[in-house]
Chains A and B, each alone.
Chain A
Amino acid sequence: MGGVKLVATTQSFFCTRVQWALKLKGVEYEFIEEDLRNKSPILLKYNPVHKKVPVLVHHDTPIVESLVILEYIDETWKENPLLPQDPFDRAAARFWAKFADEKVVFGVWTACTAEGEGKEKAIEAALESLAHLERQIEGKKFFGGEQIGYLDLVLGWIPHWLNTMEEVGGMKLLEAERIEWALKHKGITYEYIEEDLRNKSTLLLKSNPVQKKIPVLLHGDKPVAESLVILEYIDETWREKPLLPDDPFEKEMVRFWTKYVDEKRFTEIPMIKESIPMKEDLLNYSRAQQNVK
């Protein structure tokens, strides 16, 4: 039987990346929801070694490990190739996928679940590994170029899940967190004004009339908007302990990454969007995971 089954959960982004790959290639599949607190005989039969999701079942044979599944899908269904053609570019994509899964996922998770000084360190490390990834999207619409590819699917969790993990973990790795970290790093005292984005304050609308977005830095009565512009402003106004890389190329990378996540290019793609779990679901799942740890 040529039927394709996917044993998975809706909340795990390791599973979602496989769904995206199948959809991109127009492969019909049966989604079998797994309850990880009560593992089914199917899961235990198909993945006896690790007992984890996702598991792709094709011709009644299982394939496990999300990155291995992506390679299998790319080799079995040739339309809309996920990996680039050139061997060196393929190697680069695989390298960054491995890096992302080993360092970034773990780093962000630690930043989310750690406390106190450990949390500070973890956030710094996570920011550093995100910075490495930033350089990889330089000058491109997606990691895969003009079209989304393997690395976009692997990193696809970042725009959506990151927000959830940040909320659960009580930290922000992008935007406002960076600004706060920058101010603390330079020893600058500041007042934090919480904004309700569904009911924007007069202060916000006056300070950032063009975009009406946060974060906004108010220095005296001077407003500065756009997180990178704010960082540059902070660096120029308070000169000790410089923040931004000197190198203009590196600075450009930091800017580009912020744009990529901020502009939601990836998550607005309909096929991608429809497989993203509801935020409430994800929040509950992430909180449960945190308790398990």
Chain B
Amino acid sequence: MSQVTVLGAWPSPYVYRVIWALKLKGVDYEYVEEDVLHNKSDRLLKYNPVHKKVPVLVHAGKPIAESAVILEYIEETWPQNPLLPKDPHQRALARFWIKFGEDKSAALFGFFMTEGEQQEKATKEGQEQLRILEEQGLGEKMFFGGDEIGMADLEFGWLAWWLDVMSEIAGVKVIDAESFPRLHAWIQRFKDISAIKEPLPDRSAMLTYFKGRRATFLALAKS
């Protein structure tokens, strides 16, 4: 079995998509923490020279970057416990929602990077996108992937743990059980899965870290 290594940063939701996928498929891996904010390692710069970001998956010495690309690679290399359906159209739908999540990143995180009137506007924008996600992406299904979790669930996994911390710090309620009942129910189901729950970072550590990040974003916005 060739060595599998994940270069990551513990606060990053993008990294967990990869960790979750590996755990769900029972793939052993070595995790290496990168200090992306202050001191990127030579190893990271060598393995992801274009973007210099995490996560990076290294398999048999070959690096793959970009979480969505890594997930497809994991799916093809370790087919057990599939994260994509067999039917091409269903696969296309899963990929569509993954792209939606990536394209709408700025809108979804906007509430966290702003304050005052701008934040009100950003929160509404984010909620609009979440409404589309809930109604058209999730619909009546148990998971984005159907009866079982799939790649699209991993894409939105940050909603299940990071959103709450970020909302608390930013002082806004983005979603709750009344306004987004289906998304809220999905969050509970998602978090309940042991492979998902087990690697989640400590909530108080996250509070400290993300408080610092918000302060940085707000300072940058002012300058």
Considering the complex, which residues of chain A in the window 41-73 have a beta carbon less than 8 Å from any beta carbon of chain B?
Answer: 48-49, 58-59, 61, 63-65, 67-69, 71-72
Residues of A within 8 A of B92 (CB): 63, 68-69, 71-72
Known: A94-B69, A132-B50. 11 other contacts (CB 8 A): A64-B96, A65-B96, A68-B92, A71-B91, A71-B95, A72-B92, A75-B91, A90-B73, A91-B64, A94-B72, A95-B65
Interface residues of B, count at CB 8 A = 23
Residues of B within 8 A of A65 (CB): 95-96, 99
Considering the complex, which residues of chain A in the window 78-117 have a beta carbon less than 8 Å from any beta carbon of chain B?
Answer: 87-88, 90-92, 94-95, 98-99
Across the interface, do B89 and A98 meet the contact criterion of CB distance under 8 Å? no
Residues of A within 8 A of B89 (CB): 58-59, 61, 63, 72
Across the interface, do B69 and A91 meet the contact criterion of CB distance under 8 Å? yes
Q: Interface on chain A toward B: helix, strand, loop, or mixed SS?
A: helix
Considering the complex, which residues of chain B in the window 94-113 have a beta carbon less than 8 Å from any beta carbon of chain A?
Answer: 95-96, 99-100
Considering the complex, which residues of chain B in the window 71-87 have a beta carbon less than 8 Å from any beta carbon of chain A?
Answer: 72-73, 76-77
A76: Cβ under 8 A from any B Cβ: yes
Measured between C-beta atoms, what is the minimum distance from B82 to chain A in Å? 14
Residues of A within 8 A of B65 (CB): 95
B6: Cβ under 8 A from any A Cβ: no
- The residue that B99 contacts in the complex, of A68, A88, A95, with Cβ under 8 A, is A68
From B73, which residue of chain A is reached at the shortest CB distance?
A91
Measured between C-beta atoms, what is the minimum distance from A181 to chain B in Å? 22
B196: Cβ under 8 A from any A Cβ: no
0/1 string, B27-49, CB within 8 A of A gives 1: 00000000000000000000000
Binding site for B on A (CB under 8 A): 48-49, 58-59, 61, 63-65, 67-69, 71-72, 75-76, 87-88, 90-92, 94-95, 98-99, 132
Given A49-B132, A65-B99, A132-B50, decide whether A90 and B91 contact each other with a Cβ distance below 8 A.
Answer: no
Measured between C-beta atoms, what is the minimum distance from A49 to chain B in Å? 6
Across the interface, do B76 and A90 meet the contact criterion of CB distance under 8 Å? yes
A-B contact pairs, 30 of them (CB 8 A): A49-B100, A49-B136, A58-B89, A59-B89, A63-B96, A64-B96, A65-B95, A65-B96, A69-B92, A71-B91, A72-B88, A72-B89, A72-B92, A75-B88, A75-B91, A76-B88, A87-B73, A87-B76, A88-B62, A90-B76, A91-B69, A91-B70, A92-B64, A94-B66, A94-B68, A95-B66, A95-B69, A98-B66, A98-B69, A132-B50
Across the interface, do B88 and A88 meet the contact criterion of CB distance under 8 Å? no
Residues of B within 8 A of A90 (CB): 72-73, 76
- The residue that A91 contacts in the complex, of B72, B96, B132, with Cβ under 8 A, is B72
B59: Cβ under 8 A from any A Cβ: yes
From A98, which residue of chain B is reached at the shortest CB distance?
B66
Measured between C-beta atoms, what is the minimum distance from A270 to chain B in Å? 28
Residues of A within 8 A of B91 (CB): 71-72, 75
Across the interface, do A68 and B95 meet the contact criterion of CB distance under 8 Å? yes
Measured between C-beta atoms, what is the minimum distance from B49 to chain A in Å? 9
Cα A132 to Cα B91 with chains together (Å): 30
Measured between C-beta atoms, what is the minimum distance from A37 to chain B in Å? 23
Cα A69 to Cα B59 with chains together (Å): 28
Cα A58 to Cα B92 with chains together (Å): 12
Most central of B91, B92, B100, B132 by chain A CB within 10 Å: B92
0/1 string, B167-208, CB within 8 A of A gives 1: 000000000000000000000000000000000000000000
Residues of A within 8 A of B99 (CB): 65, 67-68
Cα A283 to Cα B152 with chains together (Å): 39
Measured between C-beta atoms, what is the minimum distance from B31 to chain A in Å? 20
Cα A63 to Cα B91 with chains together (Å): 10
Cα A28 to Cα B30 with chains together (Å): 48
Cα A71 to Cα B84 with chains together (Å): 13
Cα A43 to Cα B195 with chains together (Å): 40
From A94, which residue of chain B is reached at the shortest CB distance?
B69
- The residue that A87 contacts in the complex, of B50, B77, B100, with Cβ under 8 A, is B77
Measured between C-beta atoms, what is the minimum distance from A61 to chain B in Å? 5
Measured between C-beta atoms, what is the minimum distance from A85 to chain B in Å? 10
Residues of A within 8 A of B72 (CB): 90-91, 94
Cα A90 to Cα B62 with chains together (Å): 13
Residues of A within 8 A of B69 (CB): 91, 94-95, 98
Measured between C-beta atoms, what is the minimum distance from B44 to chain A in Å? 16
Residues of B within 8 A of A99 (CB): 50
Cα A58 to Cα B90 with chains together (Å): 12
Cα A88 to Cα B63 with chains together (Å): 9
